[in-house]
Every structure is written in structure tokens, then in C-alpha cells.
Amino acid sequence: METREYGKTADGRAIKSFLLRGGNGAELEVLDYGGKVRRLSVPDRSGACENVAMSLDFTKPGFGGSLIGRYANRIAGGRFAIDGTEYRLPSNIAPDGMPCLLHGGSAGFHDKIWEARPFETAEGDALELSLLSPDGEGGFPGNLAVKCVYTFTKGNVWRIEWTATTDKATPVNFTHHVYFNLSGEARRPVSDEAVRIAAGSYTPNGVGQITTGEIASVEGTDFDFREPRAVGERMNGAYDCNWVLSSQDGSLAFAASAEDPVTGRRLEAWTTEKGMQFYSGFALNDSLKDQFGRSLFPLAAFAFETQAHPDSVNKPGWPDTVLRPGQVFRSATEYRFSAV
């Protein structure tokens, strides 16, 4: 595996880059800084490899393209309670005047230099990323030991496997916030890419994009992607919501797919998680830049963020996201690439 010095963060921390090779010329380049994806090149139907992954500008500690934790998505009010003890977190956004913690806040995984260990497997190149999030970091209780292993197989499957342990009860919800544009270097808006989501229900958002606590059927709504639909076919493509996946038993199961009609590139997301945030990138704009310094635009790329349902730690009756001493958190997601 190719390893090189990449540069430094805005505050002077050294960054390393790791190149994992798949099959038929496919490559995955990632950084130990936030586990960020710099490049993910996969073949189209003619065999031409181009980058299909988008991260946000590496010179700023943003979420796009990064590992996300301790808690992905939103925690309403920046607070939660475990066993009668309330914890308050430093909220980092307040849409509609509703403060909340988004993606772990400024102390999140996206801005950490992870300890990186490259190794080989029978399936392909792999990279283990690990860190210790100390008790109280970001307002969360417990010393949380986290490992995330990337494997890029010879069949062009990018597997992301998480494990974590803690010495105090603490909520955990991890995801990867990479964006995809299957048109490659053409960088066409993703409005024509056909998306399918294996979900018969979703969690509607209320004020401040906080989940209301309802689990609603997608039947007869613009959120029904049980059959492939072009991203821009409905709602002008303005999607940013969590779907309740059909598989709820923790097995690795099909979650979603996307297909570009021009290049033939196809992506399938498989996960052990119960939920997935589909964000179409409708709010991206030219005030933002990607990892190569290029200006963005609405629908520049989409995200399939596999996760626990947002704000689950504050929703009685929803799947429990509290990890306790003696338990091991495990989660796996695969992004499978092919061409049709």
C-alpha cells in the first residue's frame, strides 16, 4: 500500500495519505485526518476509472467526507439523560432557533488525527484507524476506544467496520459522511441519478430538522424510493431525511442503490444499521469547495449515511444507542461499486 506525507491541518498537525487499490484500476485514497476520502476512482461501463467521491475542503475541519462521531446527525437541545443523569453538550447549530449538536460538534471524529495501521487481507488492502475519545470530550461521558477498519476489495467493495468500548455508559452513533457523484469528473448534478432505498417508512423532521418521534409510512409520499426514482424527479431533489431500513435485525443487508444513466456506474449500500440518512446535496452552493478546491453547486453529490435514527438517545421506544461498560459496539457498512 502506498503511504505518503500529505500536508498539515490548519493548526499544524501532520497528515498522512494511504492509497488502497481495488480491481480494474480502482483506487481509494484516504487520510488519517478524520478518515477523510480524497479520491475514490471506480470504472464506468467502458472501464474508465474516475473519482466518484466528494469531501469538503480539507483546509477547514468540516464533516463532509469524514468519519462521524461520537454521535452522528442531531441531538436535540444538545442534551440527553442516562440513568437519571443529564448531560449537556455544546450545541454547534441552531436551525429555526432550535439548538442541537450535529455530528459530534467541534470535538467530533472528523477533526482528529487517527492512529493508522495499513495491512493486507485476502480480499484486498485494508487500513485500521483508531483513537481514544477521553471522558468528557465534547460533553460525552466515558473513555471511548474506537476502531474503524477500511477494506477495499479486489471486487471494488469499500467496507467500513466499526468497533467501540467504553468505561461509562455513553451514547454512540457512527457514520461516514462521504458524498458520491457517479458521473465522475463530468460533475453533473445528481438529479438524474436513480436512487432506490429499501425502506417502507421514515422518520419525519420537525422544527430545526429534529425528528418528531414519529415513524411514518412512505406509501403515497415523495419519500417512497422502494422503486428507483431520479433524485430530481420530486421535491426538486431536496432530500435530507432518515429512512427506517427494512432490515432491523443487525445483519448486513441491502439499504440503497444509485445508478448514473450516462456512465453506467452503480453504487449499492449495505449495512448492519437500522437507519440511513439520504442527503441529496440540494443545499450545497458556491460558497463551499470540495477536496480539490473546486466550487460546489446544488445537487453536486449525494450521501448515504448509514446510522441509528437521529436523536434516538432522546426518543423512548426507539432503538437504544447507549453503549455500556462490558459491551462492544459493532457496525458495518459496505459501498459496492459496479457498472451496468
pLDDT reported for residue 60: 87
Name the 3-class secondary structure at 332: strand
Which run of H or E residues covers position 162?
strand 157-166
φ and ψ at residue 147, rounded to 5 degrees: -130, 140
Convert the pLDDT of each residue in 146-157 to its tens digit. Answer: 999 999 999 999
Q: What is the DSSP letter of 309?
A: P
- Set out the domains of the chain in order of their start, with CATH numbers: 2-339 (2.70.98.10)
| Grid cell listed for 303 | 450521501
Q: What is the DSSP letter of 336?
A: E
Alpha-carbon distances of 250 from 168, 203, 307, 329, rounded to whole Å: 24, 19, 12, 12
Q: What angle do CA 185, 307, 285 make, to 5 degrees?
A: 40
For 63, other C-beta atoms within 10 Å of its C-beta total 23
- Enter the pTM of the model: 0.97
Would you say how long the chain is, in residues? 340
Instruction: Please give the positions annotated as active site.
Output: 177, 305
DSSP states along 29-57: EEESBTT-EEEEEEE-TTS-EEE-EE-B-
| Grid cell listed for 106 | 467541534
| Grid cell listed for 29 | 485514497
Give the integer Cα–Cα distance in Å for 336 and 340: 13
Which run of H or E residues covers position 8?
strand 2-8
Residue 68: exposed, middle, or buried by beta-carbon count in 10 A (0-12, 13-18, 19+)?
buried
Give the integer Cα–Cα distance in Å for 168 and 134: 11
127-143 burial, b for 16+ CB within 10 Å, e for fewer? Answer: bbbebebeeebbbbbbe
| Grid cell listed for 252 | 448486513
Which run of H or E residues covers position 265?
strand 265-271
Q: Which residue has the cell 477500511?
A: 150
Task: Check if the beta carbon of residue 21 is closer than 8 Å to that of residue 27.
Answer: yes
Give the integer Cα–Cα distance in Å for 175 and 188: 26
Sheet arrangement for strand 201-203: 216-217, 201-203, 240-244, 275-279, 303-307
Bridge partner residues of 290 (DSSP): 56
Q: Could you tell me which of 128, 110, 178 has the C-alpha nearest to residue 18? A: 128
Q: Tens of pLDDT along the chain (340 residues)?
A: 899 999 999 999 999 999 999 999 999 999 999 999 999 999 999 999 999 999 999 988 899 999 999 999 999 999 999 999 999 999 999 999 999 999 999 999 999 999 999 999 999 999 999 999 999 999 999 999 999 999 999 999 999 999 999 999 999 999 999 999 999 999 999 999 999 999 999 999 999 999 999 999 999 999 999 999 999 999 999 999 999 999 999 999 999 999 999 999 999 999 999 999 999 999 999 999 999 999 999 999 999 999 999 999 999 999 999 999 999 999 999 999 999 9
Convert the pLDDT of each residue in 97-138 to its tens digit. Answer: 999 999 999 999 999 999 999 999 999 999 999 999 999 999
Give strand ranges (E) for 64-143. 67-68, 74-76, 79-82, 85-88, 100-102, 115-120, 124-133
